[in-house]
């Protein structure tokens, strides 16, 4: 059907549908000859996709939007016709910061508002003691990790630009950064939170599913111009990834073995299995926490792109001063997520209603009222 395809990915569990689609032969069954290329940083993946070294990529959802808007880099319109993962991130902190937060906690330790308020108390005490600001790692300026950290902190009254330091770190380097004392915490996707816990140097404070009921995380991204010229190939790739996602949900054990291979994610299969099960060790003492929405790959319609999710991500870009608010930009952002291509490839009808984002703070999000969303929060960098 097509010339060989090169597809970039980062070693994260939410690349699972793509990896399984290739390694189980689902792409080959669709007539596709796919080579997966493992990368370390999101800037590498973005740049190689943009200039055509990759035909498609496992990509941060906000990067696809930022690229289409020309924010922070060259403008290259991207389409995202398949969600590779919904949710899946977690916030991990050092044992020292975890103890400090628990000492200042008033409420349930799994309630993000209670921990955000505890963080505000810790930040205030550190300031009064003349201590250095806390440092948190996130994977990219245009990332769900950045926005989820900021959303959580700001809900408790912590200004993420004034009260703490946020630094960019590639996902595979997060654990070493906490081990070496460079950061006090981070937000990253699986399996790197679990690796920190297994090493005894971190506590998982929150699953992102505590912060958002449903937040798109990674997408299958393609240059719009390429996708338009190769629509049959795109449809075949969506079908293969959908089969991969279905396989994962049916057999977590074999999927974990596939993903654990050194050229794929390269960590112990048991860690990956726990991620897929949504049953994670959250503390070095072995304490477990289970959440049915920790990471959605194939179930609950997770693969179908939702333009409202794109609108929410765009709203976060505006809130934190990365881009001004404009109706045209909102339309462009929402147009990156392509449920029409997904539905056509799989022969599906659009659902009556997409699931809500369900953030833990603020009013319900409405894509047609981004300004109302912004006005609901005291802390931000947006201008009307």
Domain boundary among 179, 211, 243: 211
Which residues, other chains included, contact 304 with Cβ-Cβ below 8 Å and sequence gap of 6+? 83, 339, 342, 343, 348, 351, 354
Residues 177 and 231 in one domain: no
Model confidence, pTM: 0.95
Residues forming a β-bridge with 238 = none
Examine the domain organization and report whether 140 and 190 are in the same domain: yes
- Alpha carbon 350 to its chain centroid, in Å, reads 24
Residues 161, 192, single domain; the answer is: yes
Q: Are 361 and 151 in contact (CB under 8 A)?
A: yes
Tell me, yes or no, whether 279 lies in a domain.
no
DSSP symbol at 76: -
- CA neighbor of 145 nearest in space, from 72, 85, 79, 222: 85
Question: Residue 177 is part of a domain; what is its CATH number?
Answer: 3.40.190.10
In whole angstroms, what is the distance from residue 43 CA to residue 325 CA?
A: 25
Task: Give domain status of residue 310, yes or no.
Answer: yes
Q: What is the pLDDT of residue 190?
A: 81
Q: Which helix (H) or strand (E) holds 35?
A: strand 34-38
Identify whether 275 is part of a domain.
no
| Residue 205 near residue 73 (C-beta atoms within 8 A) | no
Q: So what's the pLDDT on residue 170?
A: 85
Indicate if 80 and 94 belong to the same structural domain. Answer: no
Confidence at residue 74, expressed as pLDDT on a 0 to 100 scale: 86
Residues 368 and 221 occupy one common structural domain: yes
Residues 39, 9 contacting (CB under 8 angstroms): yes
Considering the domain architecture, whether residues 82 and 156 belong to the same structural domain is answered as: no
Total domains present in the chain: 2
CA of 358: how far to CAs of 213, 247, 292, in Å? 5, 28, 15
Once rounded to an integer, what is the mean pLDDT over residues 303-314?
A: 97
DSSP at 141? S
- Checking if the pLDDT of 1 tops 80, the result is no
pLDDT, mean of residues 147-165:
97
The answer on 162 and 51 residing in a single domain is: no
- Quick one: pLDDT band at residue 384, thresholds 50, 70, 90? low
Residue 2 pLDDT class (50, 70, 90 cuts): low
Instruction: Among 193, 211, 229, identify where a domain stops.
Output: 211
Instruction: Return the structure tokens found at 301.
Output: 């319609």
pLDDT at 142: 94
Residue 292 is assigned to a structural domain of this protein:
no
**Statement to judge: residues 189 and 223 lie in one domain:** no
What range defines the domain where residue 83 resides?
A: 5-87+215-267+298-373
Contacts of residue 80, Cβ cutoff 8 Å, sequence gap at least 6: 59, 61, 64, 219, 220, 221, 222, 305, 336, 337, 338
> Cβ neighbours of residue 298 under 8 Å, at least 6 residues apart?
17, 242, 245, 246, 248, 249
Give burial (CB, 10 Å; 0-12/13-18/19+) of 134: buried
* Cβ(5)–Cβ(32) below 8 Å: yes
- 73 against 92, higher pLDDT: 92
Q: What is the pLDDT of residues 240-272, one digit of tens each?
A: 999 999 999 999 999 999 999 989 998 899 989
Question: Distance between the two ends of the chain, CA-based, in angstroms?
Answer: 49
Structure tokens at 282: 């959250």
Residues 6+ apart with CB under 8 A from 67: 46, 50, 73, 74, 75, 76, 77, 78
Q: Please tell me whether residues 197 and 138 are part of one structural domain.
A: yes
272 lies in some domain: no
What is the DSSP-derived secondary structure letter of residue 113? Answer: H
Q: Where does 283-369 have alpha helices with state H? A: 307-319, 327-336, 339-346
């Amino acid at each position: 059907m097509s010339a060989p395809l090169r597809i970039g990915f980062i070693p994260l569990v939410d690349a699972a549908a793509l990896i399984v689609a290739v390694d189980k032969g689902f792409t080959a069954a669709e007539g596709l000859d796919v080579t997966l290329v493992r990368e370390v940083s999101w800037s590498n993946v973005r740049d190689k996709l943009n200039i055509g070294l990759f035909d498609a990529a496992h990509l941060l959802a906000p990067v696809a939007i930022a690229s289409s808007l020309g924010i922070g880099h060259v403008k290259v319109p991207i389409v995202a016709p398949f969600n590779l993962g919904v949710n899946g991130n977690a916030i991990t902190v050092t044992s020292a910061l975890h103890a400090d937060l628990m000492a200042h906690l008033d409420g349930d330790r799994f309630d993000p508002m209670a921990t955000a308020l505890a963080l505000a108390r810790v930040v205030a005490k550190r300031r009064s003691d003349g201590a250095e600001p806390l440092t948190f790692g996130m994977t990219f300026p245009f990332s769900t990790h950045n926005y989820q950290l900021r959303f959580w902190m700001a809900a408790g009254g912590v200004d993420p630009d004034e009260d703490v330091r946020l630094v960019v770190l590639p996902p595979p380097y997060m654990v070493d950064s906490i081990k070496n004392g460079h950061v006090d915490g981070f937000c990253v996707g699986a399996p790197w939170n679990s690796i920190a816990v297994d090493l005894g140097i971190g506590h998982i404070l929150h699953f992102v599913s505590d912060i958002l009921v449903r937040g798109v995380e990674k997408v299958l991204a393609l240059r719009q111009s390429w996708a338009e010229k190769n629509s049959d190939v795109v449809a075949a790739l969506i079908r293969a990834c959908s089969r991969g996602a279905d396989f994962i949900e049916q057999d977590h054990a074999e999927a974990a073995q596939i993903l654990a291979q050194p050229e794929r994610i390269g960590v112990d299969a048991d860690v990956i299995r726990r991620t897929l099960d949504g049953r994670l060790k959250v503390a070095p003492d072995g304490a477990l926490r289970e959440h049915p929405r920790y990471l959605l790959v194939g179930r609950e319609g997770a693969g179908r792109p939702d333009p409202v999710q794109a609108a929410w991500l765009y709203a976060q870009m505006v809130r934190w001063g990365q881009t001004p608010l404009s109706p045209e930009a909102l339309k462009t952002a929402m147009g990156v997520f392509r449920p029409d291509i997904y539905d056509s490839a799989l022969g599906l009808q659009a659902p009556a209603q997409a699931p809500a984002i369900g953030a833990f703070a603020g009013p319900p999000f409405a894509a047609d009222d981004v300004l109302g969303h912004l006005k609901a929060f005291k802390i931000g960098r947006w201008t009307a």
